[in-house]
Structure formats: C-alpha cells, structure tokens
Structure 1
Amino acid sequence: MTTASPTTASESSAPAPHMAGNFAPVTDELTAYDLPVTGTIPAELSGWYLRNGPNPRDAASPHWFFGDGMVHGLRLEGGRAVSYRNRWVRTSTFTDGPRVVDGQGRRDLAAGVANTHIVRHAGRTLALVESSFPYEVDCRPAHELETVGPYDFDGRLTTAMTAHPKTCPTTGELHFFGYASRTAPYLTYHRADAAGELVISRPIDVSAPTMMHDFHLTAGHVIFMDLPVVYDRDHPGMPYGWQPERGARLGVLRRDDPYGEVRWLPIDPCYVFHSLNAHDDGDQRIVLYVCRYAEFGGRSLPHLWRWTIDLAAGTVTEDQLDDQFSEFPRVDDRLAGQPARFGHATSGELPGSGPIPGALLRYDLRTGAVVRHDFGPGRTPGEAAFAPADDRPGGPGWLITYVYDAATDTSDLVVLDAEDISADPVATVHLPRRVPYGFHGNWLPDPAG
C-alpha cells in the first residue's frame, strides 16, 4: 500500500550540479508498506535505518548544503522490510520561512534546515545541522517520523550544535560544539551527560570564524580542527572562502580538564569535512583518521589520511593511507574514540565531480589492507551505517546504505556483511522511489525489552 501527498516543484532548464540527476529533490512525502526484498534481511535487524539530507521544498537552492532537511526511513523487523517513509523536518524555516532574528531581536537559533545528520541520545532522536538547534523527530515504531520541535537541552544550549556530535561508549556522554560565523566566541565546546543534561559549555578562543564541520573524541581528549576555510559573506554560494595563508592547526583539550588549556599544534593547510575515528596511543600520542581535501571548494577530492599527534614533541605526523577517493567515513560507533581495527567509507559522486564508480571501502587500520565493494555501472551508494550483529564492539555486523540506480532512476536499501563486503549483498530492499543523494544517518535499533 502506498500513499502520497504531492507538492509543486519549480522548473529549471539548466539546473546547477547540486540540483541535477540524483542530487535533485523529490517533491512529495511517501509511505509504503511491505517492500519487496531480494535476499534475506537478517532477523537480528529490528529498528529504523534513517538518513538525512537536503531536499528543498520549492525545488530550488543556491547550494547543496542549504536545502530543507528530509529524513528517509526504512523500518526493518522480523526479517521484513515493514515500511518506507520520507518526511521533511518541519523546522521553523520550513513552516514560516527563513529568518535571522527572533521576536526579541536575537539570533533565532531555532531557524535552520536540520538537513545533515540524525542521531539518538538519551531517548531523543535529533535531526541536526551545524547552523542551528537540533530538531527532535518521533521515530517510535507506530509513528510517521513527525517533527516534535526544536530542542535546546531545556534552555541550556545557547549556541548552534554541530551535526557531528560524538557519544562516548564508556560514559554515554554526548560531546559536541557550536561555531559562530559572525561574532565571538567563534567556538564553544559542550558536553551532555548520559541522561541528556547539558553539563559543560565553555568558549574556546579561536581568532577567526572558520567553518568547523567535525572534530575528534578519544578516551582522554577532545581535538578541534581550526582549518583555513573562513566566513566570507560576499563569497558566492557558501559564505566561506579558502584562505590557506592563515595556516591550519589541531587543538587538543583533556577531557578530565574541560575548562583547561587547549593546546594548538600546526598541520599543513587542508580541509576535512569528516573524521573516521581517533584514539589515544599511550599518554603522549593521539591517532586521528580523516578524509582530507588538499584544498576546499571543489578543487580536490578527499582521501583517507592518518594524523599522529606527539604531545611530548609538539608535532603532528601526516600520512596518506589510500589513493582512492573516499568520503563519509564511519566505524562501529561502539568503538568511537577507542582503537578500532576497521572503518569504512564511500566512494561516489559529489556535485560537479562527474561520474565516479560507486563503491564502499573497508579499511583495515592495522594492516593497511582495503577491500572494495563495487555496486556496478550506474549504481552509487551513500554513506553506510554499521548495524551490529551482537554485543561485541568491533564484532560482526552489517553495513546499510541507500544505493541509487541511474539506469532505472530508482533506489534500493542494500545490506552488506561488514566482514565480507566484497560478497554479494545479504539483502536488497527495493524502494518505491529514488532517494536523492544526502548526507548522514544511523541504524537505530529498537530498545531492548
């Protein structure tokens, strides 16, 4: 059974790259049940696969990053693909139009598009974008991914929130930051406890409003990336410009001294949207894995690099680990901030990049080996989330991703065995419509019991 509520899309004779092909938005919200499956969905998978991304309601957007958030969700249960639905996140920008200030003349942090990520912490499912507050989404099994509303940690959050928070698997704490593009303090570090209470908010002194999309967490440290992409309101498209002459640096803060000194260490100018993982290596070394661009602004493609911080020497060693294009890196989230042997990333099309063979890459971070799953001509995956098969961090599990097929202009949800990703898919769920390329998501298992 399928139901749909159409809206009207504006037309363009020559769409920009981020509005063409599978970057183009869909124009309605759909619900479909009992979806056809090739292969067998593992019985252990009971929950939601949710993925967020930009989908401008009026089918027009000056940049890929600016479209209204839309969550695409597939519910798996009992070996069945129970339902698919896509829903816009009903932010105040979506319902009331763009606005900068609230009724009291202050910056309106509830005004945003919530289009970048969707995470769960302390029982809340939050749709995120780095320019505003999170928006809570209802993903209980019998619900429709309705928007609950903006969430500001009971009034304690007074900055925007990154779209890439990190949950410590040991403490259950949620670490995140907010950055400002116009006024100081340009960076604020936040920490919420396992119950969801915001317990730490401290400004960090940086000299310019750089675009800080992601950061790093280890068992003992938080590491910030102050990279030379700087706010410039006159810059076309994204209001950020590449200024390599400013240099680049990593800022190290001890978790046990959250209001203490941030130690800054220089690195070569570059840009990083996404980190794979990080971990402490003894008392004086920190190892970070990133998808690194040599330049920002469509001038280069990212590759996997390792940065090794030597706190005793005050240096960072930088090593490229792979020459294949890779983005949207992930690990088993139960090993976030811990030594994880395996990680994975996606190789596929970006706006303006031209065709790139669609693949998932599995990295053995201990041996350097790389295993590749190619999806075939014209088939392009998005970011893949890890779904565990049991309670052993780093153990067996599955990679779940949406895959677009250009030949049929449709999408599938594909499940791969994470320990043998070169093999044929474990299951392929055939969706009733294409899922536009988007950003980030998660496998959200049903709570135990």
Structure 2
Amino acid sequence: MLHAVKFVGGVPYYCCRYTKTNRYKHEASAGRSLFPNPLGDSHGVPGIARITLFAMRVALGIVDATGGIGTANAGLVFHNGTLLAMSEDDMPYAVRICESGDLETVGRFGFDGENQLNSPMTAHPKLDPRTGELLCYSYSVATKPYLKYFKVSARGVKSKDVPIPLSEPVMMHDFVATENFVVFPETQIVFRFQDLFLKRTSAVVCDENKVPRFGVLPRNAEDVSGLKWFDVPGFTSLHFVTGWEEDGGEKIVLIAAKTWPLRNMFDDPASVHNTVCEVHLDMKTSLATVTRVTAAVLEIGQVDHRMITRKTRYAYYSIYGPWPKFSGVAKLDLNAPRCSNVTTISEEALEYDPAVVAWRKFGTGRFGSEPFFVPRNDDAEEDDGFLLCYVHDEITGVSELLIMDASSPKLDTVASIELPSRVPYGFHGLFVNKEKLAQQKPV
C-alpha cells in the first residue's frame, strides 16, 4: 500500500491505495495469502511446507508466478515522468498520481529499449540529479549471475546488464553511486536454500565468519574488467545514505549505518542496533578504513537528493525506537569531528555527540518512519528546507504527516496534518513537486 498527501493550493488531500501487483490481484481474489514471504517463510519445516505448497499452486495453475511475486512496497522513485513503486523481489510497478490526488496502478514496468528489464530490481536505485540517469541493479537468490548492474538513461532507455561474479547469493538491499563509480556491498547475510531442505534450518543466514566486501565498478562499465574489491571485516550495512569521491576519484567515501550484532537480526531484531559510519575506499592501495561518525543509535536516513553522487554536509536519520519503530529524527553534520573517544553506543549520545547538530523525539508512544528532506526551492542552500515524516501515536491511534524545519536547532514543527487512517511503520518515502508532476506521462 502507498500513502500519499497531495498539496493543492495549500490544502492537503490524503490517499492510500494498494499497488495492484500480480501478487495482490491473486490474493485479493482468493481472500487469503497465497504467496510465501522470501524472508519470513524460509525457516525450518514450516518454511519447507509453505514453499512446497506455493510450488504446487503454481504447478496446478492456481497462481501465475510469471507475473511477479513482489509487493512493490519498499521504495519509490520518480524517473522520466513515471512514479515507480519497488520491492527487490520483483520488477517495479508504475503508479500514476491523479489530479485528485488518487493513485492508480499502471502495471509492471520494464523501461524502454531493446534491453528491457525482465528480472527483479533493487528498491533503492540512485537517481543522478545532474544527468537524469537511474542507476540500478538486480540480484537473484537462486540462479547465477547473482548480481547484475545496469543503468537507465534520462529518457528511460535501459542499458545492457553487467553480470558481477559472486560466489553465493547475498542480501543486497542498497548500494552507492558516485560521479564515476557504483559500489556494491557483498554482505554477511547470505541465501542458502540447501540448508533449508537438507538441515531444516533457515535459508537466510547471517554468516559472521564471512568477510564482507565492497565491489567498485565504473558507472559506464560494459563488463567487469574494471571491478575492484575491498575487504571490510565485520562491516555489514543494509542502508547507505550517500557517497562521493575525493582526491580526483582516488578515494571513495561511503556513509552507512553498520548493523550489529548481526547474529540477532532474524531471531531477536529488537536487540539489533545501527550506528552511522564513514567508510574510505582507497583506489590506489585497495584498502578500506572505517570510522564511526556518531555514537547515537540511528538507521534509515536521507540527504538532500540534489546532492546525490556528490559530497554532502548534512544527513537526516531516524532514531531507533527499537526496530521496527523509530522514536525521533536526528540531523548529522558529516563535517563535524568524529566521536572517537566514545566506546558506548547509546541514545544518550544525542546529547553530546558533535556530529548530532539537531534532534527531536516524537513523544511518548509516538513513532515515525524515515524523514525525507525537501528543499525550500530549487535554488535553496543545503539544509534550507523541510523534513517530512509520517508519525503514528499508539496512545490516541492517530497518524499524521509531520513537517519540520530542517535548519532549526530542534527540528521545529512547521505543520502537522492529522490523517483519517493509520499509516503503518514503514521505510522509505518520496516528495514529487508540481514541476515533476506536470511531466508525468499519460497512461
């Protein structure tokens, strides 16, 4: 389901609509769940039973899996006049924003050109604000090549896939794009379906003995001849807020939230924490170094999208609540001194950490989603704008769209819009201005 608030002449109009994926259509017609959850249903004997039952439904023609099995509910991007709703287990779905503010599903989307997309795509593509290119990848949990990189031109034409060799399929939820490179994380979260059927354990494993690494590939690569790998022991991250190049492209800087202890991710997610780190990749020496940016417990975040691929100063993060709840928002100054003398990661770090230059809590029983930065206008300086965030009050049952002043010391409220229905705790959002809406392609 997508939740949207459209502003017309200063008046907000709220809408929520299910994205009518292939999965949704089958399950809505049947009135029950038919498709397995790749992560939640891949454990032990019950997981084997669910997957086997789904395979039988496909074989008997009860469901048509060729139309996709995804939920299109993880990420959003507006590219070449089209709003795309995405989840990494399927191709994106095109959704139209109507004049009234309503949302209409157009259908599964594969881009233009002779190399049309026919496999799942990341929910975190990177839109270069200068070139208009959409940088993407696809990964498979079952068949080689496990990872493929591609890009889409500003006019919507997809390039050929560049297969990237991996020894086994890994969970790769996000990546980084700079002016000249794309960076892929080979994480410690791996898919081993043989363990599910042979050992009756989970098909999704946190392998702490594996050395995670980053693969750096030129953005315009047509093959992997220029691919370079960097080992980063013990560093697994699911979300990267930004990245850029320094020293004429000889160094790449990544800003990411490190996840730990990784072993608890599936069994005890409330005990897992994330702390924002800075990773330096030296293209000359092939060495990687990791520095902690803050001692605060933060995760999913955003930067000014006009700065994607370039060095940015500010990042806006969610404060852990614990997972999957977020209790507030914090603004980081990436130019601030590092909190190197602090050994304890805690919420109290918000008070004294030099990198945390503004923060606010939503209040008792109130939790939110990822903040999204909107510049005051196209020419505004970085940080001159607003943070938008959906917040739900578990005591009153009210959900709202909270609009904050991004440049204020306490992220002061500019407006609060009470919504007529619940907005569940979610991940990622998007703001589309009226100029882009005017470019929306007809159905």
Normalised by the size of structure 1, how large is the TM-score? 0.79
Secondary structure at the aligned position of 1:85 is classed as: strand
Summarize deviations over 1:114-143 as a string: whole Å, max 9, x none. Answer: 110121100111110001110111113235
Summarize deviations over 1:115-174 as a string: whole Å, max 9, x none. Answer: 101211001111100011101111132352111110012471122100000011221100
Matches within 5 A, 1:17-416: 70-81=1-12, 83-97=13-27, 98=35, 108=66, 110-142=68-100, 144-154=102-112, 156-233=116-193, 239-259=203-223, 260-282=225-247, 283-296=249-262, 297=265, 298=269, 300-351=272-323, 358-368=327-337, 369-370=355-356, 371-392=358-379, 394-416=382-404
State which drifts further: 432-441 or 292-301.
292-301
Once the two structures are TM-superposed, the CA of residue 294 in structure 1 deviates from its matched residue by: 2.5
Decide which structure has greater helix share. 2
* Structure-2 separation of matches of 1:421 and 1:114: 36
Secondary structure at the aligned position of 2:285 is classed as: coil
Residue type of the alignment partner of 1:399: L
Structure 1 pair 228–109 and aligned structure 2 pair: CA distance change class (3 A):
farther
Residue type of the alignment partner of 2:21: T
Summarize deviations over 1:343-382 as a string: whole Å, max 9, x none. Answer: 111014355x7x76x1101011012431211222222121
* Structure-1 separation of matches of 2:295 and 2:369: 19
Secondary structure at the aligned position of 2:300 is classed as: strand
Residue type of the alignment partner of 2:329: L
* Structure-2 separation of matches of 1:403 and 1:385: 13
Corresponding position of 1:25: none
Larger RCO (CA under 8 A, 6+ residues apart): 1
Secondary structure at the aligned position of 1:72 is classed as: strand
* Structure-2 separation of matches of 1:415 and 1:150: 32
Residue type of the alignment partner of 1:411: S
* Structure-1 separation of matches of 2:89 and 2:411: 40
Summarize deviations over 1:90-131 as a string: whole Å, max 9, x none. Answer: 10111124377798x997363211110121100111110001
Residue type of the alignment partner of 1:366: N
Which ranges in structure 1 are unaligned for 5 or more consecutive residues?
1-69
State which drifts further: 302-311 or 153-162.
153-162
Decide which structure has greater strand share. 1
Normalised by the size of structure 2, how large is the TM-score? 0.80
* Structure-2 separation of matches of 1:312 and 1:306: 18
* Structure-1 separation of matches of 2:322 and 2:22: 28
Aligned length: 375
Structure 1 pair 191–276 and aligned structure 2 pair: CA distance change class (3 A):
same
Residue type of the alignment partner of 1:398: F
- Check conservation: 2:281, 2:289, Cα contact below 8 A: yes
- Check conservation: 1:385, 1:443, Cα contact below 8 A: yes
Identity %: 30
* Structure-1 separation of matches of 2:250 and 2:202: 38
